Structure 1
Amino acid sequence: MRVLVMSDIHANYTALEAVLKDAGQVDETWCLGDLVGYGPDPNAVVEEIQDIPNLTCLLGNHDVAAIGKMPLETFNGDARRSLIYHEKVLSASNLDYMRTLSSNTKVCGDATLAHGSPRDPLWEYILNSFSAQLNFDHFNTTSCFVGHSHIQCSFMMDGNSKRVTLGQTTPDVVVELRPKIILNPGSVGQPRDRDPRAAYAIYDTEAQTWTPRRVSYNIPEVQERIRSAGLPEKHALRIADGW
C-alpha cells in the first residue's frame, strides 16, 4: 500500500495542492495535524482535506486552539494573531469537521501516528536524540511518524546498544524501515529546515520503506495572501527561506 504522509499544512492551500499533485495516486493519506495556524487559507485547506479519500487525520495544537479547546494565550504573539484570525474566518461546517478529529496517537498497521510525540501528542517537539530516546518506549510498532517540528528527519534506535541517532533525511532517498524508528515528513506549509519547498513523504507498507519528498510551489502568491489578510509579516518572510 502506498501512503502519503504529511503534516503541518498551516493554512497554506497552494503548498497543499502542490503536494497532492506531486504525490500522485496513493492508497491512503495520513495527515499528522496542524491544518490551520500561520497561513492565509484555513477554509480552503480544511475543505480540501475533507475531500481526500481514505484519509486518517489528526489534530495538531493549532487545530485544537482553533476549535476552542486550548487557550490562545498558550501561543506566542504572532501565532496567536493568526489563530484569532482563523477563529473569525473558519466556517461553522469546517469547525464542526475539525471537532470530529482526534489529537491522540493512532496506530495504523505497523506505524504509530502522532502530531508531536507518542508520549505527548500535542506539544512535545522531537528535535534531538535525547527527546527521541524518551519516546521509544511509548510506541510498540516498527515506526512512529510525527510532525510538529516542521523538520524532515529521522531518529533510529540501535537494537543492541539502544543508542539513538538523528538522521537528516534526503529528498527521494529511500529509507528502509526497521525497528525502531521515528520519522518526520516535514511541513507542507511552513518548513523550518532551510528548504522552503513543501515537504511530505511516501510510506510503502509492503516494502517497509519511507521516501521523503519536496516540491516547489508559488511562494510569492501565498505571501501576498498573508499580507492581504493582515497576518504577521514574519509568516510571509519565513516561508520563502524555510526557517
Structure 2
Amino acid sequence: MRTLIYSDVHGNLPAFEKMLKAEEKYESYVCLGDLVNYGPWSNECVELANSLYGSTIIMGNHEEAFINGYYPGENALVKEFFNITYKEFSLVEEIKKFKRKIILNNFTCTHTILDKYIYPDTDIELTYNCIIGHSHHQFEYKNNGYVLYNAGSVGQNRKFIDTINYLIYDWDQKSITMKAMPYDIKPLINEMKNRGYSDNCMAYYLSKKRANLF
C-alpha cells in the first residue's frame, strides 16, 4: 500500500495534473495544504484534490486567507496575487472542511510547525516524526532520533520553478521516497497573461531559476 503526499500546488493545475498522471494507482493521497492562490486555477485544484480516491486535505495558510477573505501578511506581492485569485474563488465552504493535521502511521502530517517556514538549514528540535510543506523546499532532516520530511511544492518550487516535488509513503516498507519531476511552465505563464496578472506577478514566475528547457 502506498500514499502519495504532496503540498503547495498553489493553483498550478498543469503541474498538479502532470504529477497525478505520472503517479497512478495509489491507495490514498494526502495534501499538506495550500492548493490555492498564486496560480490561476485555485477552484480546479481544490476540485481535483477532492476527487482523488482516499484523499485527505490539510488546511494551509492560504486556505485560511481565502476563508477569512484577506491575506494577513505584510508581503505586498503576495497580497497582489491574493487580490487576483480570491475574486475568482468559489469554494470557500469546501476548504473549510480541510483538516488541521492527520496521523500517517508514525508520522504527524501538518502544513508546517508552529506557523514557521522550515528550510533545509533550519535548526529545529524535533519531538516527533513529521511531514510538512509550506516552505516549498523538499528535504529530509533528522534530530533527536526523529525525522522530518518536507514534501516541497508541486506548483511553486522555490529551488527550480519548473520542478514538481512530492513524497511517496510505502506502508509495507514503512519508508518515504522523495520524488521530483520536470514540467513545462509555459501553459501556466500563458494563462496568467490571459487572466490579466500584473507585471509584478508575472515577473515573480519569470525570474525564478529553471532546471529544465522545454
Please, which of 98, 102, 118 is the counterpart of residue 126 of structure 1?
A: 118
> Which aligned pairs between 1:141-180 and structure 2 lie closer than 5 A?
143-157=129-143, 162=144, 179-180=145-146
- 2:131 alignment partner AA: F
Paired residues in the alignment total 208
Give the equivalent residue in structure 1 for 2:97. Answer: 100
Deviation beyond 3 Å, 4+ runs, structure 1:
128-131
> Which aligned pairs between 1:84-233 and structure 2 lie closer than 5 A?
84-91=83-90, 94-102=91-99, 104-117=100-113, 120=114, 123-133=115-125, 136-137=126-127, 139=128, 143-157=129-143, 162=144, 179-194=145-160, 196-231=162-197, 232-233=201-202
Contact 2:133 2:152 in 1 (8 A): yes
Which TM-score applies when normalising by structure 1?
Answer: 0.79
Any stretches of 5+ residues in structure 2 without a counterpart?
none
Contact 1:7 1:188 in 2 (8 A): yes
- 2:81 alignment partner AA: S
1:196, CA displacement in angstroms?
Answer: 2.4
Provide the C-alpha distance between the structure 1 equivalents of 2:106 and 2:57, rounded to a whole number of angstroms: 17
Provide the C-alpha distance between the structure 2 equivalents of 1:75 and 1:202, rounded to a whole number of angstroms: 34
- 1:156 alignment partner AA: K
Provide the C-alpha distance between the structure 1 equivalents of 2:171 and 2:31, rounded to a whole number of angstroms: 16
Say what the alpha-carbon RMSD is for the aligned residues.
1.9
- 1:116 alignment partner AA: T
The 3 A distance-change label for structure 1 pair 240 and 20 is: farther
Contact 2:120 2:137 in 1 (8 A): no
- 2:205 alignment partner AA: A
1:202, CA displacement in angstroms?
Answer: 0.7
Contact 2:103 2:109 in 1 (8 A): yes
